[in-house]
Structure 1
Amino acid sequence: MIDKIKLVLALLLVVAGVAGFYLLSEQALVLRILAVLAGVIAGLAVVWTTPLGQSGFTFARESVAEARRVVWPSRKDTIQTTLAVFGLVVVMALFLWAVDIGFLWMVKVLMGRSA
C-alpha cells in the first residue's frame, strides 16, 4: 500500500512541475523549464524508493548495456540493404501493375467490352 502511495506522490510531483510551468508563465523560460525538471526529478527520486521503480531502473540500465553490445552495420552494408529494399519495391510495383492490367483486361473481356 505504501508503494502505491509513493507512486501517486511521484505522479503528483510531476504534475506539480508541469503546473509550475504554466503558473510561472510571466517568468523567464529557463525558470519555467527548471520547474518541470524539478518536478520530474523529484518524481523519479520518489519512484526510485519503490520496488517497481528499482526494477524499472535496473531494466533501463540493462537496456543501455545491451545497446552498447550491439554490432551496428557499416555504411556499406546499410547502403546495400537499402538499395536491395528499393529494388524489391520496384519489382513488386511492376508485378502488381502487371496483375492489375491483367485483371482489367479480364473484366473487360467478361463484360463484353473488349476492343
Structure 2
Amino acid sequence: MADKLKLLVAVMLVISGVAGFYFFADAPTVVRVLSVIVGVVLAGVVAGMSAPGKQFFSFALEARDEAKKVVWPTRKETIQMTGVVMAFVVVMALFLWAVDSILMWLVKLAMGQGS
C-alpha cells in the first residue's frame, strides 16, 4: 500500500509541475519550464523510493551495462554495409519498375489498347 501511495504522490507531483506551468502564465518561460522540471524530478525521486521504482532503477543500470557490451561496427564496415543497402535499393527499384511496366503493358493489352 505504501508503494501505491508513493506512486500516487509522484503522479501528483508531475501534475502539479504541469499545473505550475499554466499557473505562472505571466512569468518568464524559464520559470514555467523549471516548474515542470522540478515536478518531474521530485516525482522521480519519490517514485524511486517505491519497490517498482527500485526495480526500474536496477533494470536501467543493467540495460546500461548491456549497452556497454555492444560491439559497434568500424567505420569501414559501416560504409560497406551502407553501400550494400544502397545497391539493394537500386536493384529492387529497377525490379519493381520492370514488374510495374510489364503489368501495365499486360493490362493495356487485355483492354485492347496495346499495340
Normalised to the residue count of structure 2, the TM-score between the two structures is: 0.89
- How many percent of aligned residue pairs carry the same amino acid? 49
Counterpart of 1:101? 101
Counterpart of 1:90? 90
1: CA distance, partners of 2:74 / 2:43 = 40
| Structure 2 unaligned spans of 5+ | none
2: CA distance, partners of 1:91 / 1:37 = 50
1: CA distance, partners of 2:101 / 2:79 = 33
Letter matched to residue 68 of structure 1: K
**Cα root mean square deviation, aligned:** 1.5
Task: Deviation per CA, 1:30-89: give whole Å up to 9, x if none.
Answer: 333322222112111111121111111111111111111211112221111111111101
Matched, 1:6 2:6: yes
Counterpart of 1:77? 77
**Matched ranges for 1:20-39 at <5 A:** 20-39=20-39
Counterpart of 1:62? 62
Normalised to the residue count of structure 1, the TM-score between the two structures is: 0.89
Deviates more, 1:30-39 or 1:94-103: 30-39
2: CA distance, partners of 1:111 / 1:72 = 55
